[in-house]
Structure 1
Amino acid sequence: MSDLLWLSEAQMRRIEPYFPLSHGVPRVDDRRIISGIIFVIRNGLRWRDAPADYGPPKTIYNRFIRWSRLGVFNKIFAALAAKGGKPDQLMIDATHLKAHRTAASLLKKGMFPDVSDAPRAA
């Protein structure tokens, strides 16, 4: 595949300080695994559909889960966002949000509080 995503050496140097220390067994190549995580998430793939160039899908998945629980990615995002300065504009994309089909009936059943000032229908 020619459209694979690989982090550059400069990008890796910026995020490496936030990686947890390796305990005992050396980790698999960080650049390859992090690039695989970004590729899978960016393209909306299942972990098992990750290209083989990034390594075993189980390794990519395990690293993502372990580092997510440790807050590694949150620290990286916060640090990179802080260096970017204050944004001129904020946008919210909610195209992926869906309500369950029973959500519409929650108000009628009294399970969801009515916070609007509109009069109730009879």
Structure 2
Amino acid sequence: MGRRDLNETEWERLKPHLPRSVGRGGRWKDHRQVINGILFRIRTGIPWRDLPRRFGSWQTCYDRHRRWSADGTWEKILQAVQADADAEGRIDWSMVGVDSTVCRAHQHAAGARKQAPRKPGKRTRPAQHRADEGLGRSRGGLTTKIHLAGEGGLRPLSLLVTPGQWGDAPQMITILERIHVPRPAGGRARTRPDHLSGDKAYSSRRNRRYLRRRQIRHTIPERRDQRAHRRRRGSNGGRPTGFDAYRYARRNEVERLINRLKISRAVAMRFDKRAYVFHGTVTVASLRLWLRS
């Protein structure tokens, strides 16, 4: 076993949730060796062709990562591992934080071909495919933003990849709706945290109305301009928003989670051309955090 490869405990947690066949009765090549190669590349950020030979063919590692990113297999595996953790009581639902981080895009991440519209009856586009490929331009160059919701144990519950210039507030509802932790014993999946925290970037009437409708308690500070606008409206502006400074102090948990994710160099800087492949890269880095906890 190489440095930071899957150990026996992590492999036993992951093994039951891996696909067993690859269409028409075929079988996958050794999952453990290939996944260790994928983890090595995500951790180091090296080109796929430079993978050490002990992981087998680099093409096999790349193809499997791309394929599982496209059809949502990585997300299904992540949800299954989250379900096991929830059944064991290892998810802290008492406080879920939302935040985002900007990742610089390497020059190799640009230049993806624009896919032409597919004819009716043909195979649909892969999951997570974006027309803009999740790339945004700024003064510093091309950037991608990762939005996430993290639980109190410093592990992500849901992810979203957008261009770097997109705002945080419009993405909050999408992030929360992606939280889906199945219950192995049966029943509805867990989709709602007990409490939500976020910084001022998530303060909006639309977001607060959504949280009240879903009966999710939240601690989101009100922006200064919103507070001034509410006061100018007088009684029509509504009541001041509640704020719990003690609960807000736990917002550092989601920030520490982002730091843990960006230890992986392929997450801290985007090297993947396709947005759905980069989404799969972040999902695998998140999966590793769940396996190691």
Instruction: Please report the TM-score for the alignment, with normalisation by the length of structure 1.
Output: 0.65
| Residue of 82, 92, 107 corresponding to 1:86 | 92
Q: Report 1:1-122 matches (<5 A).
A: 4-23=3-22, 24-82=25-83, 83=85, 84-86=90-92, 90=97, 92=99, 94-97=101-104, 99-101=136-138
Q: Give the Cα separation in 2 of the matches to 1:92 and 1:61.
A: 29
Preserved contact between residue 37 and residue 60 of structure 1 (Cα < 8 Å): yes
Q: Percent identity?
A: 32
What is the deviation of 1:41? 1.0
Preserved contact between residue 6 and residue 35 of structure 1 (Cα < 8 Å): yes
Match of 2:172 in 1: none
Preserved contact between residue 20 and residue 27 of structure 2 (Cα < 8 Å): no
Higher relative contact order (CA 8 A, sep 6+): 2
What is the deviation of 1:67? 1.6
Secondary structure in structure 1 of the residue aligned to 2:67: helix
Match of 2:127 in 1: none
Q: Give the Cα separation in 2 of the matches to 1:54 and 1:18.
A: 21
Preserved contact between residue 6 and residue 32 of structure 1 (Cα < 8 Å): no
What is the deviation of 1:86? 2.2
What is the deviation of 1:20? 1.6
RMSD: 2.9
Q: Out of 30-39 and 84-93, give the one that drifted further.
A: 84-93
Q: Give the Cα separation in 1 of the matches to 2:3 and 2:82.
A: 25
Preserved contact between residue 32 and residue 55 of structure 1 (Cα < 8 Å): yes
In structure 2, relative to structure 1, the CA distance for the partners of 1:101 and 1:16 (3 Å cut) is same
In structure 2, relative to structure 1, the CA distance for the partners of 1:43 and 1:17 (3 Å cut) is same
Q: Give the Cα separation in 2 of the matches to 1:93 and 1:54.
A: 33
Preserved contact between residue 51 and residue 58 of structure 2 (Cα < 8 Å): yes
What is the deviation of 1:46? 1.5
Instruction: Please report the TM-score for the alignment, with normalisation by the length of structure 2.
Output: 0.30
Preserved contact between residue 17 and residue 80 of structure 2 (Cα < 8 Å): no
Q: Give the Cα separation in 2 of the matches to 1:81 and 1:96.
A: 25
May I ask how many residue pairs the two structures share in their alignment?
A: 102
In structure 2, relative to structure 1, the CA distance for the partners of 1:15 and 1:3 (3 Å cut) is closer
What is the deviation of 1:101? 4.3
What is the deviation of 1:78? 2.5
Match of 2:205 in 1: none
Secondary structure in structure 2 of the residue aligned to 1:94: strand
Secondary structure in structure 1 of the residue aligned to 2:34: helix
Preserved contact between residue 34 and residue 56 of structure 2 (Cα < 8 Å): yes
The gaps in structure 2 that reach 5 residues or longer are 106-135, 140-224, 226-293
